Structure 1
């Protein structure tokens, strides 16, 4: 689609999501505020009674799997390294630098998009998990994980 300001967007329709409205709004709020060069930007959303839509920046070269797994998709060693490094930087930002801990939970070549300079951007946070970091304890399905920010 195209927005009023002429930005081209990729629209994702979320059908049958299991989370309630409160969880959806919390996720949109967190993901909408994430800003990193290796993460796809959420530019808008629409939440009606029947459908929930997310509008993301559109990336010209599509997903990494289309380049990796096609005969004409030759990537050199330097390009592969830069894609791997950019992907790792995006995931590291989600795991280490966000105020709320974001686990992607579905990292695969189909969820790594490439811009016109083959810069990778991690996408598809529909499977993401958001966890509050309270006093260094992150709660995942009732299990506590201790993590001091800045440590490995």
Structure 2
């Protein structure tokens, strides 16, 4: 059923990605592959490699992230906890914001109106995470590589690998920093 988070077995994901043959990219937490689900929808599968967390923590994070839905957040569609944990998101055909801001070809540069709309969308997504979710979600790694662009250049915040879930009654000081150097979340400063 559309909109519901599903659990897949590893074999289904191998089929969807043609045995992980179309690599889109990768980062500190794993590699991303393009795939097609049985309903013909394009997806991006992230195979997590450096989790440092058990299955219980993985399922808890999936449960939380799988329930949040906002037009400016990448939607988690499917997960698989078999072997290395895998997350399947909607595919974003225009790639990352980074590829458009720091690309050497001049024909790939975004105009100012589009940049403004992207910035506004990112802000709306962050407000939703911080103020409108049952648990406050501090992303901890907002950077151009983690902002994906849909077919209409609508921004989608992605990569919740470093996200910190904080209850609404949270009152203690956060002492461990998370994030990418140069893009450290202001909550940690």
For the residue of structure 1 that corresponds to 2:161, the secondary structure is: helix
- Counterpart of 1:63 in structure 2 is 96
C-alpha separation in 2, matches of 1:139 and 1:4: 46
The alignment yields a C-alpha RMSD, in angstroms, of 1.6
Note if 1:40 corresponds to 2:74: yes
4+ residue segments displaced more than 6 Å:
none
Structure 2: where are the runs of 5+ without partners? 1-34, 177-189
Change over 3 Å in CA distance of 1:142–1:81 after alignment to 2:
closer
For residues 51-84 of structure 1, the C-alpha deviation after alignment (integer angstroms, 9 at most, x for no partner) is 1000000010000011111133221111110000
Q: Give the alignment's TM-score, normalised by structure 2.
A: 0.70
Higher relative contact order (CA 8 A, sep 6+): 1
C-alpha separation in 2, matches of 1:138 and 1:17: 27
CA offset at residue 20 of structure 1?
A: 2.1
CA offset at residue 16 of structure 1?
A: 2.7
For the residue of structure 2 that corresponds to 1:59, the secondary structure is: coil
- Counterpart of 1:116 in structure 2 is 151
For the residue of structure 2 that corresponds to 1:43, the secondary structure is: strand
Structure 1: where are the runs of 5+ without partners? 144-152
Q: Give the alignment's TM-score, normalised by structure 1.
A: 0.86
Match of 1:127 among 159, 162, 172: 162
For the residue of structure 1 that corresponds to 2:36, the secondary structure is: coil
For the residue of structure 1 that corresponds to 2:108, the secondary structure is: coil
Matched residue pairs, number?
A: 140
